[in-house]
A and B are shown apart, each in its own frame.
Chain A
Amino acid sequence: MSTDLKTRVQELIETMINPAVAGHGGFVELIDVQDNRVYLQMGGGCQGCGAADVTLKAGIERLIKEELPEVAEVLDTTDHGAGTNPYYSPGKA
């Protein structure tokens, strides 16, 4: 079931999420699905972006859970500190 869920999450990322975040030079990569928890990594303009948390929590996670209610949680594994070209600069304080 986890493999099937992983496939469906991957399809959602490819068809709905990545086309949207590409507008800000970003992309989302599916790392794994374990125990109905989705592990993602953000890249490009999303990595280190000041809006990354909002995009993830209020955007990506919401969309995934609406389409796939069995998903329990979406977790971000990105090293945002290593982002070299964030779309929105994060705050310093």
Chain B
Amino acid sequence: MDRLLLLLPTTTYRTEAFVDAARALGVDLVCASERPSTLEAAAPDHLLTLDFDAPDAAADAVARFAARRPLAAVVGVDDRTTEAAAAIARRLGLKANDPTAVHAARDKYQMRECLAAAGLPVPRFRRIPLADDPYLAARGVAFPCVLKPLALSASRGVIRADNADQFVAAFGRIRALLARDDVHLTGDAAQALLAEAFVPGLEVALEGLLIRGTLTTLALFDKPDPLDGPFFEETIYVTPSRLPAAVQERLRAAGAAACAALGLVEGPVHAELRYNDDGP
């Protein structure tokens, strides 16, 4: 029986779905969280504690485990575990993305740099250290702009600013958010934010699967509620997409090009794109 390692943060709501899927596949399941399970001592071969914020240390720990309990695959659940999962898979010689590519996919500033280097359309963007004076930083951007943390999901901390006053307020709000105990960011993601030009237009979510570098789009979701800010909370997703077939094809192609630019080759993809008169 193949053995699968699932990285499950204690903050995820997806445990049941992934565990049920593993059961349906008939794999032997090992679950790892960032905090100890109360039953870890009773089930040491099935419950692990790993530091998801230290991918190399997590890989070391899993390598020791796998020496006696070989693993066939590693799956990271939620944004927080992707880099640890990639490091572990790389260490064990399992199918996975390059950890550098995974890091670029998670860091919004590095992502913009990769996409721009590949000639893909991205808004003007700047990385701004949190230690900078926001009043001075506001002079270096054009409005309207959007400020956002480098590596959070679910639109947390994503704020539109139409002028300098709003920029300063948003900056302070993001700075406070990143200082919270329940926000687990390290490195540059904890020390800087991204400011980029606001992109008008409709927004879609692309769910796909990469297999040996080829992206198959599983679903394209329209987001019919306008997402113009100042906050971008998501409300309704609609699929199948109602967009014209030609637009859908351009969005799928843009998603595939972005994956290639980042160096991603394997695994599930969730991408969010905007579309307007200039295209994706």
Cα distance A90–B15 in the bound complex, in angstroms: 12
Contacts of A9 in B (CB 8 A): none
Contacts of B19 in A (CB 8 A): 53, 57-58
- Confirm or deny: A37 has a beta carbon within 8 angstroms of a beta carbon on chain B: no
Cα distance A21–B42 in the bound complex, in angstroms: 10
Interface of B is mostly: loop
Number of A-B contacts (CB under 8 A): 79
> Which of A20, A54, A57 is close to B41, meaning CB atoms less than 8 Å apart?
A20
B43 touches A54 (CB 8 A): no
**1/0 contact trace for B1-39 toward A, CB 8 Å?**
000000011111101100100000000011101010111
B43 touches A51 (CB 8 A): no
- Confirm or deny: B154 has a beta carbon within 8 angstroms of a beta carbon on chain A: yes
**1/0 contact trace for A18-60 toward B, CB 8 Å?**
0011011010000000000000000000000111011101111
Of all chain B residues, which has the CB nearest A49? B10
B37 touches A54 (CB 8 A): yes
With A23-B38, A63-B39 given, is the CB distance from A53 to B47 under 8 Å? Answer: no
B15 touches A59 (CB 8 A): no
Of all chain B residues, which has the CB nearest A52? B15
Contacts of B154 in A (CB 8 A): 93
B38 touches A24 (CB 8 A): yes
**1/0 contact trace for A56-93 toward B, CB 8 Å?**
01111011000000000000000000000001111111
B37 touches A55 (CB 8 A): yes
Contacts of B153 in A (CB 8 A): 93
Contacts of B15 in A (CB 8 A): 53-54, 57
A93 touches B16 (CB 8 A): no
Closest 9 CB pairs of A and B: A91-B11, A59-B39, A53-B15, A50-B10, A93-B154, A58-B31, A24-B38, A57-B19, A88-B10
Interface pairs (26), CB distance under 8 Å: A16-B42, A17-B39, A23-B38, A49-B10, A50-B9, A50-B11, A50-B12, A51-B33, A51-B38, A53-B8, A53-B15, A53-B16, A54-B37, A54-B47, A57-B15, A57-B19, A59-B39, A62-B46, A63-B39, A63-B43, A88-B10, A89-B11, A90-B13, A91-B11, A91-B13, A93-B153
